[in-house]
Structure 1
Amino acid sequence: MLGFSDKDKIGTIQPHNDALVVTLRIGRYDVKRMLVDQGSAVKVIYPNLYKGLNLKSEDLSANDSPLVSFEGKTVILKGQIRLPIQTSLDMVEVDFIVVNAYSPYTAIVTKPWLHALGAVSSILHQKVKYSSEGQVKKIVGNQTMARQCMVAAISHQPSAEPSASIGKGF
């Protein structure tokens, strides 16, 4: 059974309000600063990872679905790409949208990834657990990295990004 107990808190800084930020393997690369967002369904790759994986525009398929940011702006999508995420010996193919927007994270993995892996996550315990080959496997979050991402997000001074406001202001 997949679950969490107080033992799973050992090695974490408690109490905390940290996001669950992990390192996952995409292709041949260990990718740091990946946010596990269990409340979303949109899997996103940001420009730094897109460039770091040496992806090209011809690697993308079209995706014209609108994406609205927290600020109420429509984010321009560069396209969509399917990439393999490897955890231990397990591989899950994930359809990411590629956006040209700032984020302290390299990517966001969400509910569809967790469901495909058969995983459960706990922000409190800073872990993702899943069953594989009769064993419970763990992906451990990095609280230091999560805190660095939060500071970077707070410190970021937005520039004129290619997006358009939607709706009416208050």
Structure 2
Amino acid sequence: MSIARPFTEDLAHDPKRSKIECRLALCFSDEDKVGTLQPYDDALVVTLRIGGYDVKRVLVDQGNGTEIMYPNLYKGLKLRPEDLACYDSPLVGFDGKTVILKAQIRFPVQAGSEVVEVDFIVVDVYSPYTTIMARLWFHAMGIVSSTLYLKVKYPSRDQVKELIGSQSMARQCLVAAIRHQTGSESSTPTEESL
């Protein structure tokens, strides 16, 4: 899989051309699988810097249209009701049920040196994840993700940077979701966010 992203570079020493365009290739190869336990079918779960904090258990989901913030992150960031903006559009969860919305809030999300302001919909439902990053964030960052390679790649200046997914974190989230659904034991993953 490969996607080229253009960037331009000024060439002050060449009076005939003021800019040259180069293409960064955002691609994956078998080398990107090194370090993953094979075979696997894990979700792409990463750690991102959100609102100035390193936040674990972030689900990267290119099929989702809205960035979601769950109660653990909402509480961990010590948000108050007055920090939130109204949001009244209906939202349907993975199970087809309408999700209880709290509101919306904008936070900076940092990957490497790149920072993007993201509008999160704050919901009041259980999730083993702290947040879901969706298509709006992907497009703003110029991201290409792969669950096969458990990586996110994005252009940063004239380089390709990457976020590596955590298989252990993804598996902890899966176990927590199953326990929550069956009502057994604690439904909180063992690795805490923030």
TM-score when normalising by structure 2: 0.79
Shift of the 27–143 alpha-carbon distance from structure 1 to 2, 3 Å rule, reads: same
Q: Which moved more, 1:142-151 or 1:70-79?
A: 70-79
Shift of the 138–156 alpha-carbon distance from structure 1 to 2, 3 Å rule, reads: same
1:49-94 C-alpha deviation (Å, 9 max, x unpaired): 0010111111111110001223332111000011100111110111
Unaligned residue ranges in structure 2 (runs of 5+): 1-24, 184-194
2:94 aligned counterpart, secondary structure: coil
Is residue 48 from structure 1 mapped to residue 72 from structure 2 by the alignment? yes
Query: Which residue of structure 2 aligns with residue 144 of structure 1?
Result: 168
- Matches of 1:151 and 1:39, distance apart in 2: 22
Identity %: 65
Q: CA deviation at 1:157?
A: 4.0
Q: Which moved more, 1:145-154 or 1:6-15?
A: 6-15
Query: Which residue of structure 1 aligns with residue 151 of structure 2?
Result: 127
Query: Which residue of structure 2 aligns with residue 10 of structure 1?
Result: 34
Counterparts in 2 of 1:12-161, with a 5 A limit? 12-157=36-181
Q: CA deviation at 1:14?
A: 1.6
Q: CA deviation at 1:40?
A: 1.0
CA RMSD in angstroms comes to 1.2
Q: Give the letter aligned to residue 4 of structure 1.
A: F
Unaligned residue ranges in structure 1 (runs of 5+): 160-170
Q: How many correspondences in the alignment?
A: 159
Q: Give the letter aligned to residue 41 of structure 1.
A: G
- Matches of 2:95 and 2:159, distance apart in 1: 42
* 4+ residue segments displaced more than 6 Å: none
